[in-house]
Amino acid sequence: MAALESGGESKSHARAGKKHKKKHRISIRIDMTPMVDVAFLLLTFFMLTTYFSKPQTMELNLPADEKAQVEVAESNLLTLRVTPDGEIFWNTGMEPAHWIEVKDLRKFLVDKNKENPKLITLVKIDREGKYRMLIKMMDEIAIAAVQRFSLAPMTEYDKRQVQKARAS
């Protein structure tokens, strides 16, 4: 349809062109400078305000039943206790706790897991501590590719252990 119509039109135009002399188009010149200026201004604004980085997320799976008890041999249990001021104490089984620096944690976890592939890591963070410590611990655990870990509440017993480790 459209093609047909336009075809017809062009024919009539052609005929008209033959009869009359083509009118001179008056050339219009609009100064585009202000528009372009504004466009650039907007461009700069959007370029500066846009941020492409979306927040990342860390996936966490919790066991469905909190009463689920898993029997673990003492020697296979690595406990990491985090104090309110962000210090980390570790121990295996029932041994006394030792202090470890945060930056050594990654290597330590890798080594421990290489030593004992059946190791289960238990993370206990003090309720008075900061949320960032949880993220830090989860991050280190993920980087060290520790598969088996669990979160547990910090009990009075744990706090005593930490105090003992501090005193010694």
Partner 1 sequence: MPKIKKKRLGFKLDMTPMVDVAMLLLTFFMMTTQFRPEEATAIDLPASHAPYKMPETDIMVVTVNKEGRTFMGVDAQALRAQLFGEANKLRPSMEVDRDALRELLIQARISNPKLRTLVKADKDAPYGPVEDILNILRQVKITRFNLVTELERN
Instruction: Please report, as ranges, the residues that interact with partner 1 according to CB under 8 A.
Output: 32, 36, 39-40, 42-43, 46-47, 49-50, 53-64, 66, 125-136, 138-139, 142-143, 151, 153
Q: Pick the closer one to partner 1 by CB: 126 or 165.
A: 126
Q: Pick the closer one to partner 1 by CB: 92 or 130.
A: 130
Rounded alpha-carbon distances, angstroms, from residue 106 to 5, 121, 165 = 75, 13, 21
Q: How far is the CB of 83 from partner 1 (least distance, A)?
A: 11
Q: Pick the closer one to partner 1 by CB: 7 or 153.
A: 153
Q: How far is the CB of 33 from partner 1 (least distance, A)?
A: 9
Task: Determine the Cα–Cα distance for residues 155 and 89; give it in Å rounded to an integer.
Answer: 14
Q: Pick the closer one to partner 1 by CB: 16 or 43.
A: 43
Q: How far is the CB of 10 from partner 1 (least distance, A)?
A: 28
Long-range contacts of 61-70 (CB under 8 A, 24+ apart): 62/151, 63/150
Task: Determine the Cα–Cα distance for residues 98 and 95; give it in Å rounded to an integer.
Answer: 9
Task: Determine the Cα–Cα distance for residues 44 and 149; give it in Å rounded to an integer.
Answer: 48
Q: How far is the CB of 92 from partner 1 (least distance, A)?
A: 24
Closest-CA residue to 78 (of 60, 66, 61, 90): 90
